[in-house]
Structure formats: structure tokens, C-alpha cells
Amino acid sequence: MLLTLSFLCVISFAAGLVDAAVGGGGLIQIPALFSALPNLAPATVFGTNKLAAAMGTLSAARSYLKRVRVPWRLVLPAAAAAFFMSIAGAATVSLIDKAVLRPMVLALLVVMAVYTLWKKDFGSLHKPVAIGRREMAIGMAIGGAIGFYDGLFGPGTGSFLMFLFIRFFAFDFLHASASAKVVNLTTNCAALLFFIPAGHVLFQYALPMAACNMAGAMVGSWVAMKKGTGFVRVLFLLLTSTLILKLGWDIFHG
């Protein structure tokens, strides 16, 4: 157990580091859990991952909030909508075949990557729009849609949030990442309302992993703020490309 736990803690640190900057920590942490604990039920793997990820997201959000000004008037309603819609997504997960979702998500990721590459100034300047009722309504729609998606399927949640915050509210990548962390934290907490009561969290693994994920998140958020928007943009494109390759592999070789 000690060797397995050590491996998972190292992986969790790396996942927290990447996730703090651009999201996508689950791409690292979930395969590691499946590999290290092959006899676990998938729900227990996802529940254990969610607890560790939630603590890392909390750490990243706390680090960002110390140095990045988040537009709470926009982000809080979006986070509230994401929380409740994430629960709705989790509740309907058994009703929708994920094989149907994968091609749609793949197409959206390709569009995001191409758009970001094509518009060289996309996310490079922080010139946020004034937050009125229309913007709050859009924010809630984004939070609700991505929250439902996270509860239902999940891959790329952080990337989708960042892209939409930049596209609709003229954030730069750094402010979009900070805002996405707040919204993503609520979807993680909503998922845990299902996983913990159902007994799908292995605390002997999840708690040490959570500590390492938090440490990685502190480093990742510090690096993102130190290096700035251009660095986060490159990481965003790398992560989106990785998601495209993974989903493409799942579709054509699954």
C-alpha cells in the first residue's frame, strides 16, 4: 500500500500543478488511479479523484484570489448555477450514453483550439466588459451548462470555462483561469455530495492525495501568476490538444 500511495501522491502533485494553471488535472490523476488500483469500481475511482481534486482546486482558488481580482458579481451567480446543474448532470448520468457525447465534445475542443490559435490576441489583454444583467444572465447560462456537463461527463471542464470567460467577457487567460477555479470548485463539491454518502471515496488514499494536490496547486498557481497570460495561453493550447488526442483515441479505438 505504501508504494501505491507514494506513486499516487506524486501523480496528485503533478495533477494539482497542471490543473491550477489551466485545468485538466483529471487527465493525469484518473488514469493513475485506474492503474494503481485496478480492482476498484469506476465510481470509487472518480469519487476518490474528486475529493483530491476539490482540495487542489480550493488551494488554487485561494492563491489566485490573493493576487487576481475576480468579478464576483459575475462569478458567484455562475458558480451557483454550476453547483445545482452539476447535481442535475450527475443525476442523469445513467440516462445518456457517453459514447454520444464524445464526438460532440471532441468537435468543440477542436473549435476552441483553432479559434485560440487563429486569434493571436485572444486572452492576451484583460479588458473585461461591464457586468450588467445581460452579462450576469450569460454567466449563469455558462455556469449552468458547464456544471451540467461536469456532472454528466467532465473532461475539459476547466478549459471550456476559461474559453467562455475570455470569449464572452474579454478576460485574459490569467483572470479566466482564476474565475474558472471558483466555478469548478462548486462543481467538485456538488459531485462529492453524491460520492461521499454513497461510500465511493477511499479516504486512506484520497486524503494524502488531497494534500499533495493542494501543494501542487499552490506551485501551479504561483507559476501561472509569475509567468503571466502568455504562459497560461500556451499551457491552455497544450492541454486542449491533449484532450483532443485522448478523446479522439477513445472514439476511434474504444
Confidence at residue 150, expressed as pLDDT on a 0 to 100 scale: 87
Q: Can you tell me the distance from the alpha carbon of 184 to that of 83, in angstroms, rounded to the nearest whole number?
A: 9
Identify the CA nearest to 150 among candidates 184, 199, 103. Answer: 184
Confidence at residue 254, expressed as pLDDT on a 0 to 100 scale: 61
Query: DSSP secondary-structure letter at 94?
Result: G
Q: Can you tell me the distance from the alpha carbon of 183 to that of 97, in angstroms, rounded to the nearest whole number?
A: 26
Confidence at residue 95, expressed as pLDDT on a 0 to 100 scale: 76
pTM: 0.86
Low-confidence ranges of the chain (pLDDT < 50): none
What are the tens digits of pLDDT across the range 186-226?
Answer: 999 998 998 899 898 999 999 999 999 999 999 999 999 99
Q: Can you tell me the distance from the alpha carbon of 154 to that of 146, in angstroms, rounded to the nearest whole number?
A: 9
H runs (alpha helix) in the chain: 2-22, 26-36, 42-67, 72-91, 98-118, 133-152, 157-169, 173-195, 203-227, 229-253
Q: Which three cell numbers stand for residue 116?
A: 485560440
Confidence at residue 94, expressed as pLDDT on a 0 to 100 scale: 64
